[in-house]
């Protein structure tokens, strides 16, 4: 298996064979999941874009969900083009080793990661503002924000935060292994920034999620705004699935920084080992969302295969007054 060509893998003998089989099966499962989920994600994004001005989809929650979806798809395709294809088309990618392309792929990975972390945080803040504090300034700000500005902020902040990564230059080690060589200092700084951001965002999102659940439970138990509470449950379930993927993402990046911060030979070897499971973490974080949207929102699930004419008819019938 090409991922096990690295001499630093800290296993040998039968254990190495088992490890290679696990990684190979991971690659097959992630690839199949991508082939099934990415087309579905495109259909969901098409639906959210077409119906962005209708009553049921005018909420900033769906605006952020649309922006998050583009980042999810971008993250998966970036890994495919800059990692999977790199090992399949070694000669082609080896020819680009002196260009900025290897560094650009590495930077894009960070931009999409930071963008998705920010996206989950924004979705959680929008949910808690809408469900728990509907009359707060934060809720008015989310609802009053122009959608283009909301999406622009979601994309601009990650790009600005990753400017140091964009200025780094990396290349491949040799034509056979095609590993991306990143100086340990650069890798340490990048790993620290992502680990800290993930931990802070996880605390914020977890608090928001718990507070939202408490509010919905109270509303359902007391009968106060029970109809609205039931409607909010679908969005909350979507957020719950994204939070599960976010937990896995945070654990991965915290462990990665822990190993790299020691700078001991055996810990560096473990970095290579844990990086082999990055595709699974990335796929779960990226590909779970379209299924959650279709399962938790029955309306989306029914309309995802609608034709253009059907969507236009629905749009005319349910058009909202928007700016």
For residue 121, being part of any structural domain is answered with yes
For residue 25, being part of any structural domain is answered with no
Number of domains forming the structure of the chain: 1
Residue 19 pLDDT greater than 60, yes or no: no
Residue 98 domain boundaries: 61-317
- Nearest CA among 41, 167, 149 for reference residue 104: 167
Q: Indicate the pLDDT class of residue 74, thresholds 50, 70 and 90.
A: very high
For residue 72, being part of any structural domain is answered with yes
Q: Max CA-CA distance within the chain?
A: 66
Identify the pLDDT of residue 313: 73
For residue 231, being part of any structural domain is answered with yes
Residue 5 pLDDT greater than 50, yes or no: no
Rounded CA-CA distance 108/299 in Å is 34
CB atoms within 10 A of CB 71: 22
For residue 165, being part of any structural domain is answered with yes
What are the pLDDT digits (tens) for 266-278? 555 666 667 777 8
For residue 81, being part of any structural domain is answered with yes
For residue 275, being part of any structural domain is answered with yes
Instruction: Pull the structure tokens for residue 31.
Output: 């690839």
For residue 49, being part of any structural domain is answered with no
Q: Which residues contact 170 (CB under 8 A, 6 or more apart)?
A: 102, 103, 106, 180, 181, 182
- Domain containing 129 — which CATH number? 1.20.1070.10
The 8-class DSSP code of residue 84 comes to: I
């Amino acid at each position: 298996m090409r991922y096990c060509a690295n001499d630093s893998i800290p296993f040998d003998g039968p254990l190495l064979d088992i490890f290679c089989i696990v990684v190979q099966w991971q690659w097959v499962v992630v690839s199949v999941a991508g082939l099934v989920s990415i087309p579905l994600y495109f259909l969901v994004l098409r639906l959210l874009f077409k119906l962005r001005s209708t009553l049921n989809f005018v909420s900033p929650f769906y605006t952020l969900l649309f922006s998050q979806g583009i980042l999810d798809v971008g993250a998966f395709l970036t890994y495919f083009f800059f990692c999977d294809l790199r090992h399949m088309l070694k000669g082609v990618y080896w020819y680009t080793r002196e260009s900025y392309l290897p560094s650009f792929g590495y930077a894009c990975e960070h931009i999409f990661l930071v963008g998705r972390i920010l996206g989950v945080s924004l979705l959680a803040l929008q949910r808690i503002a809408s469900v728990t504090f509907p009359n707060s300034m934060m809720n008015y700000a989310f609802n009053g924000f122009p959608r283009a500005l909301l999406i622009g902020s979601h994309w601009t902040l990650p790009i600005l935060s990753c400017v140091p990564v964009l200025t780094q230059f990396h290349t491949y080690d040799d034509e056979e292994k095609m590993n991306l060589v990143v100086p340990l200092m650069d890798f340490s700084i990048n790993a620290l920034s992502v680990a800290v951001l993930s931990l802070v965002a996880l605390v914020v999102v977890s608090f928001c999620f718990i507070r939202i659940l408490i509010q919905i439970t109270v509303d359902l138990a007391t009968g106060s705004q029970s109809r609205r509470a039931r409607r909010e449950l679908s969005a909350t379930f979507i957020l719950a699935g994204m939070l599960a993927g976010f937990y896995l993402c945070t654990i991965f990046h915290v462990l990665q920084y822990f190993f790299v911060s020691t700078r001991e030979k055996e810990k560096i070897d473990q970095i290579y080992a844990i990086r082999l499971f990055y595709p699974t973490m990335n796929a779960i974080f990226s590909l779970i969302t379209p299924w959650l949207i279709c399962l938790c929102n029955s309306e989306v699930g029914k309309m995802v295969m609608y034709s253009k004419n059907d969507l236009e008819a629905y749009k005319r019938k349910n058009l909202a007054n928007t700016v």
